[in-house]
Amino acid sequence: MNHFEYKDGALHCEGVALEAIAAAVGTPVYVYSTATLERHVQVMREAFAPTPVLIAFAVKANANIAVLATLAAQGAGADTVSAGEIMRALNAGVPPSRIIFSGVGKTDEELDYALAQGIHQINVESAHELTRLGEIAARRNVEAPVAIRVNPAIGAGGHQKISTGGADAKFGVSAADALALYAAAQAHPHLDPKGLAVHIGSQIRDLEPLRAAFQTLRTLTETLRAQGLPLTRLDLGGGLGVPYFNEPDPPAPAAYAAMAKETLGGLNVDLAIEPGRLIAANAGVLLTRVIRIQARADRRILVLDAGMSDLLRPAMYDAFHDLRPVRPSSQPPAPFDLVGPICETGDTFARARLLAPPQPGDLCAFMTAGAYGAVMASTYNARPLVPETLVRGDRYWVVRRRLSVAEQIALESLPTP
């Protein structure tokens, strides 16, 4: 469900015309819908009801503190993969008791910071990390809450670069190693093993790989308990896909939750999930303006003021984003190559996309851009960093202003003579 609809002949976000945002803020600019963010948290909670579940939003999908605060107000937590993301979540009002820390490359400083904040859980992904965490917790004289991240040798996802559960992936440890690490954590005076975690990929459109991964968690849980080791939590990760308009609809959250409860039923554990794309993708659009149309003998090229520095997914993952005119035209559609202004051939959003012919100056919106959009943006080609706005009803706020080139230069300095 999203709240981007045409009203009075123009595309709106909730009660705000996108034209008004473009006029005030300029383009390109991200626009997020509060109502959509809130609704998606509610949908996930309702899907698991009456089973309680910690909905730990994957901050890597959208790290804007206004977005995180909106989700925190709905009771969501945060799945983080850096100390910076933990800091963002805390600044947005996410309680430490709802923050999970994942990732293969946690430094000693980051582990120490996480312990200092008293977060809910640290998902450990290697024997070395477990050793370092134990030593850091001992120095602090605390018990670190630990989950062991299992690599189930089950890869899934919409692209090989976002498949995280295969045997050759860098994430997690094997099932056999997970058992050994869990026992080692239990024996350590400053480690408090709580459970197991898994995450096998992103943009997953088939429940069966997830079912197999959850079955691995069940088997390991039963094995550990048979060894007399307590286990009270399972972190199911995220990854459930969203519709990007050119693909079949992925399974509904209700089907996902039903499968999880069926597979894990009777274990009497606390569940956590880490949705990111599912919460944020359809809650945001990237508003852009047509610079010009270049006519070639064999094709027409639509040049936009948004580029791969603003929305990287098409260049990095060959991702599809629907492009909609802010004011629809009745002209018959024609094929256009959609490109940005970056000095890279890779700065191409689509080839031969059918569109009603636009005109220079027309506004368009890349849909389903609320996840892995602004958070992956850069200042490549010395471009201003794209701003973000948040709409609630008939009001909007600039929640990250455009970072000018002058401000970027001010962060740099020349060597002294």
Report, as residue numbers or ranges, the catalytic residues: 343
DSSP-derived pairing of the beta strands 323-325 and 121-124: unpaired
Rounded Cα distance between 105 and 350, Å, is 34
Rounded Cα distance between 129 and 115, Å, is 14
Is 280 in contact with 370 (CB distance < 8 Å)? Answer: yes
Which of helix, strand or coil describes residue 35?
helix
Rounded Cα distance between 186 and 193, Å, is 6
Peptide bond into 52 cis (omega under 30): no
Is 33 in contact with 4 (CB distance < 8 Å)? Answer: yes
Rounded Cα distance between 411 and 8, Å, is 44
Q: Which residues contact 354 (CB under 8 A, 6 or more apart)?
A: 333, 334, 335, 336
Fill in the amino acid letter for 196.
L
CA dihedral 72, 85, 58, 280 (to 10 degrees): 70
Q: What is the DSSP string of 128-190?
A: HHHHHHHHHHHHHT--EEEEEEB--S---SSSGGGB--STTSSSSB-HHHHHHHHHHHHHSTT
Element holding 193 (H helix, E strand): strand 191-197
Give the CB-side neighbour count of residue 128, counting CA atoms within 13 A: 5
